[in-house]
Amino acid sequence: MQDLFAVLTPGDEEWLLAKALDPERMPAHVAVIMDGNGRWARKRNLPRVAGHKAGIEPVRTVVETCARLGIEYLTLYAFSVENWKRPRTEVETLWRLLRSYLKVEIPRLVRNNIRLNVIGRVDALPEAAREDLEAAMHLTAANTGLTVNLAMNYGGRAELVDAMNRVLDAARRQGRLDELHLDEETIHANLYTAGQPDPDLLIRTSGEMRISNFLLWQIAYAELYVTDTLWPDFKRADLLRAVVEYQRRDRRFGGLTAARKPKSELALAEPLGVSSR
Ligand code: IPE
Ligand code: IPE
Ligand code: MG
């Protein structure tokens, strides 16, 4: 949190939002469905790929802000297994943008102790993109700060199928197929996100009220936050607003009381002094 205040201006909107946050109750894992690039471009009479290009800056902002907030895991939905249905030129532009993003960002990730991890069916990505992603993972593997999971050729159902097949293959190899018994721990341990906490907060931009095959297993008890803001317009204040809203929620996990108490009733009652969207 101190890292965040170092770059904020006292009294402005972001500062007020940051002030409203309880550092003791930060989400451990934030997941984002970065949607609305195409609509952002259409509004400006630009080709869809211009929206994807404009969507890079918010990625930088969100990664940096999560690191400054001390959040441990950030999962970004960048390309779904269903996104191959798009025109080839759009898909190819996405790989090009990914590669140029990595080229610029890897040194910054290394410097800032951020680890990059790719989740999804990476084997099916174009070779050049796959190699760059693998290099990025390798170069940041020893970092101990924020972990960024980049979901690439990712599908929640595909992930579950892959997890089940891994369990089956292992049992077959060990000659223990007959005794195989599945439980939640075994499934968790074979997901792409094995060992990570489930997302506490799932943000979707551009207003669609759907999950689009993202982290189906892991979001069982995630708090959902949908904003009409299109991804290329998503700013640091938007992320802070989502986390403030997250901290106002009463997370019961099926029980009758909140898992943890809010910072103070006063903080809840106070207006944030920011425009609501
Ligand atoms: C999200 O923006 C980026 C990707 C899915 C790669 P979209 O491209 O889905 O933008 P809209 O939803 O058409 O506005
Ligand atoms: C979800 O967005 C996938 C990503 C953000 C990468 P889509 O734009 O593909 O989802 P739908 O088609 O609106 O459900
Ligand atoms: Mg979309």
Using DSSP's 3-state secondary structure scheme, residue 116 falls into strand
- Residue 213 is among the residues annotated as catalytic for this protein: no
Of the ligands numbered here, which is closest to the C-alpha atom of 82? 2
Q: Which domains does the chain have, with CATH numbers?
A: 2-250+272-276 (3.40.1180.10)
C-alpha separations of 16 from 203, 240, 267, 275 in Å? 21, 10, 12, 11
pTM exceeding 0.85: yes
Using DSSP's 3-state secondary structure scheme, residue 73 falls into strand
Confirm or reject: Cβ of 93 under 6 Å from ligand 1: no
Spatial separation of the C-alpha atoms in residues 232 and 238, rounded to whole Å: 12
The closest residue, in CA terms, to atom 2 on ligand 2 is 35
Residues 79, 81, 86, 89, CA torsion sign: positive
Q: Which of 22, 83, 162, 213 is catalytic?
A: 83
Of the ligands numbered here, which is closest to the C-alpha atom of 38? 1
The closest residue, in CA terms, to atom 14 on ligand 2 is 212
Residue-by-residue pLDDT tens, the chain, 277 positions: 779 999 999 999 999 999 999 999 999 999 999 999 999 999 999 999 999 999 999 999 999 999 999 999 999 999 999 999 999 999 999 999 999 999 999 999 999 999 999 999 999 999 999 999 999 999 999 999 999 999 999 999 999 999 999 999 999 999 999 999 999 999 999 999 999 999 999 999 999 999 999 999 999 999 999 999 999 999 999 999 999 999 999 999 999 987 764 444 444 444 444 443 4
Spatial separation of the C-alpha atoms in residues 19 and 106, rounded to whole Å: 31
Confirm or reject: Cβ of 154 under 6 Å from ligand 1: no
Nearest to 109 by CA among 128, 133, 136, 69: 136
Q: Are 156 and 186 in contact (CB under 8 A)?
A: no
C-alpha separations of 111 from 8, 52, 55, 108, 139 in Å? 21, 26, 23, 5, 11
- Residue 112 is among the residues annotated as catalytic for this protein: no
